[in-house]
Structure 1
Amino acid sequence: MISVEHLTKRYGPHTAVNDVSFRCEPGTVTGFLGPNGAGKSTTMRMITGLTPPTGGTATVDGMPYRRLPNPGRRVGVLLDASAQHPGRTGRETLSLAAQVMGVDRGRVDKLLDLVGLDAKAGRKRVRQYSLGMRQRLGLAHALLGDPRVLILDEPANGLDPEGIFWMRTVLRDFADRGGTVLLSSHLLREVEAVADRLVVIGGGRVVADGTKDELLAGSGIRVRALEPEKLEWALTTAGVTTTRTADGAFVAQADAETVGRTAAAADLVLLELRPADGGGLEQLFLELTTNGAAKEAAR
């Protein structure tokens, strides 16, 4: 389990992460989402002891990462697929890690096979690897110690569609066997396909935290009117958060009755009023991070 409590990180006057709290439970994949610069990587670095927090705590299985004995046997980490010695072969990289962690070297070949790096690829120098191959090697390294927790930052970067599907299968199987996965990714549809829980961060703050079903169920009401500008003004005045869609409609974060009554009070003719659909995680992400950025800018 991963527990993050009120994590904060400041760099001089700039606050990169502000009072972030969430939990990742065994048997689940938690999607950790946010735009560039939102504080995702900084948070993950604090969890893994690479960046000291200004305030708050983060624990894995009840202990700070730096206090874990032989942490690679408890937590598999992939934060930067390029942070591997370019002069070593893939097999040498894993063999050295196995020796440091006290892992049976027989797992090296098993893991290379699992991540789709054959004997020829295992003999290549890492400098000859594509980004996708480095991601596969990084995941093999994360899994080498047979951990119960995985912390992965953009592990699907550089993978082709087949590789992304393979990655999703590996992570889902890991969680289904009782493992805990914290996964950061910009590939929202892939996160939607594999995640059980979602933590969305914007402007260094958590703007949403819950199960995927809970968060996606609250996708709002789609509404369209003959006079869209007046509709937007009426809803905003009534305190309803709206997001304009590409076809001129709005997704309103309120129930249908509230939206309908607001439109009627403004003498607006509605062309459409129904539950929003089809946007899924991408729509939710845009709504939350746009609103979060606006609130942060207003502070």
Structure 2
Amino acid sequence: MITINGLTKKYGAHAAVDDVTFTARAGRVTGFLGPNGAGKSTCMRMMVGLTPPTSGSATILEHNYTDLPNPGRHVGVLLDASAQHPGRTGREVLALGALTMGLPSSRVDELLEVVGLTAVEAKRQVRNYSLGMRQRLGIALALLGDPQVLILDEPANGLDPAGIRWMRSLLRGFADEGGTVLLSSHLLHEIEVVADDLVVIGRGRIVAQGEKSQLLAAAGTSVTSADNAKLAQALAHKQIQVIPAGATLHVDAEPIVVGQTALEQQIVLTELTSAGASGLEDMFLQLTAADAREGVSA
């Protein structure tokens, strides 16, 4: 289990992470979402002692990460697949990890097989690896000590569709066996498929958290009409929040309320769906609209 309580990191007057509190539970995959610059990576770095917090705490298995004896045997971490030494071979990277953790060398071969790196690939220097191969090596290193907790930042970057499916199965199996997974990714569909719980962060603060099914069910309504401006004005007059997103309006109300309002104003609707039916992407865009950058997709 990972417990985050009031975690804050300030750089001068700027709060990169601002009073973040959540729990990633054992036996579950927790998806950690947010736009670029929202504070996800800073949070994860504070969890594993790489960045000191300004205030608050982050504990893993009820201990600070730096207080865990032989932490790799308890917590598997992948924050940056490109951080591995480029002059070492994949096998050497894992062999050094095994030596540091006091593991038998046979564990290296086990993990190479688990992540699908062949004997030939294991003998290559990391500088000659593709990004997908580096991700597989990083996941192998995170799993090397047979940990109870995984903290992974964008582990699917560079993986092909087969690799993404493999990783999804791996993480689901890890959680189903009682492990704790905290997973950050921009691949919203993959988070939607594998995650049990969601934590959404924007501008350093949590904007939503809870079970995935409940959050998606409460995501509101997506609507497109012949006169979005008039419909938005009518909904706002009823104190209903409306967030424009291109040709669509995201509305914090049930579809029946939106439809009734359109009928009252004699506005033709061209699309009306529960935002939960449109999946995680719509919910994410609605919750993080204040952080959106023009011309940049989620």
**1:87: how far off?**
1.2
Q: Which residue of 2 aligns with 1:84?
A: 84
Provide closer, same or farther for how the CA distance between residues 176 and 34 of structure 1 changes in structure 2, counting only shifts above 3 A: same
Q: What CA distance in whole angstroms lies between the structure 1 residues aligned with 2:136 and 2:85? A: 15
- Shifted more, 253-262 versus 191-200: the winner is 253-262
Contact 2:5 2:56 in 1 (8 A): yes
Which amino acid letter does the alignment assign opposite residue 101 of structure 1?
M
Contact 1:226 1:268 in 2 (8 A): no
Q: What CA distance in whole angstroms lies between the structure 1 residues aligned with 2:131 and 2:292? A: 31
Q: Deviations 1:2-42 (Å, cap 9, x if unpaired)?
A: 00001000011211000001100010000100000000000
**1:24-103 correspondence to structure 2 within 5 Å:** 24-103=24-103
Which amino acid letter does the alignment assign opposite residue 135 of structure 1?
Q
Provide closer, same or farther for how the CA distance between residues 249 and 135 of structure 1 changes in structure 2, counting only shifts above 3 A: closer
The unaligned stretches of length 5 or more in structure 1 are 295-299
Helix, strand or coil: the match of 1:210? strand
Q: Which residue of 2 aligns with 1:7?
A: 7
Contact 1:135 1:157 in 2 (8 A): yes
Q: What CA distance in whole angstroms lies between the structure 2 residues aligned with 1:172 and 1:179? A: 9
Q: What CA distance in whole angstroms lies between the structure 2 residues aligned with 1:120 and 1:273? A: 54
Instruction: Tell me the percent identity.
Output: 60
Contact 2:168 2:190 in 1 (8 A): yes
Which amino acid letter does the alignment assign opposite residue 269 of structure 1?
I
Contact 1:238 1:262 in 2 (8 A): no
Helix, strand or coil: the match of 1:121? helix
Which amino acid letter does the alignment assign opposite residue 280 of structure 1?
G
Q: What CA distance in whole angstroms lies between the structure 1 residues aligned with 2:100 and 2:275? A: 52
Provide closer, same or farther for how the CA distance between residues 222 and 286 of structure 1 changes in structure 2, counting only shifts above 3 A: closer
**1:103: how far off?**
1.2
**1:229: how far off?**
1.0
**1:102-117 correspondence to structure 2 within 5 Å:** 102-117=102-117
**1:268: how far off?**
3.5
Q: Which residue of 2 aligns with 1:269?
A: 267
Q: Deviations 1:128-163 (Å, cap 9, x if unpaired)?
A: 111111110000000000000000000011111111
Contact 1:5 1:21 in 2 (8 A): yes
Contact 1:150 1:181 in 2 (8 A): yes
- Shifted more, 191-200 versus 277-286: the winner is 277-286
**What is the TM-score normalised by the length of structure 2?**
0.92
**1:234-253 correspondence to structure 2 within 5 Å:** 234-244=234-244, 246=246, 248-253=247-252
**1:108-257 correspondence to structure 2 within 5 Å:** 108-244=108-244, 246=246, 248-257=247-256
**1:223: how far off?**
3.7
Helix, strand or coil: the match of 1:186? coil
**1:275: how far off?**
3.1
Q: What CA distance in whole angstroms lies between the structure 2 residues aligned with 1:20 and 1:51? A: 15
Helix, strand or coil: the match of 1:206? strand
**1:277: how far off?**
5.5
Q: What CA distance in whole angstroms lies between the structure 1 residues aligned with 2:223 and 2:122? A: 55
Q: Which residue of 2 aligns with 1:288?
A: 287
Q: Which residue of 1 aligns with 2:296?
A: none
Q: What CA distance in whole angstroms lies between the structure 2 residues aligned with 1:292 and 1:233? A: 23
Q: Deviations 1:74-119 (Å, cap 9, x if unpaired)?
A: 0000001011111111111111111110112111000001101111
Contact 1:203 1:293 in 2 (8 A): no
- Shifted more, 155-164 versus 253-262: the winner is 253-262
Which amino acid letter does the alignment assign opposite residue 81 of structure 1?
A
**What is the TM-score normalised by the length of structure 1?**
0.92
Helix, strand or coil: the match of 1:207? strand
Provide closer, same or farther for how the CA distance between residues 225 and 134 of structure 1 changes in structure 2, counting only shifts above 3 A: closer
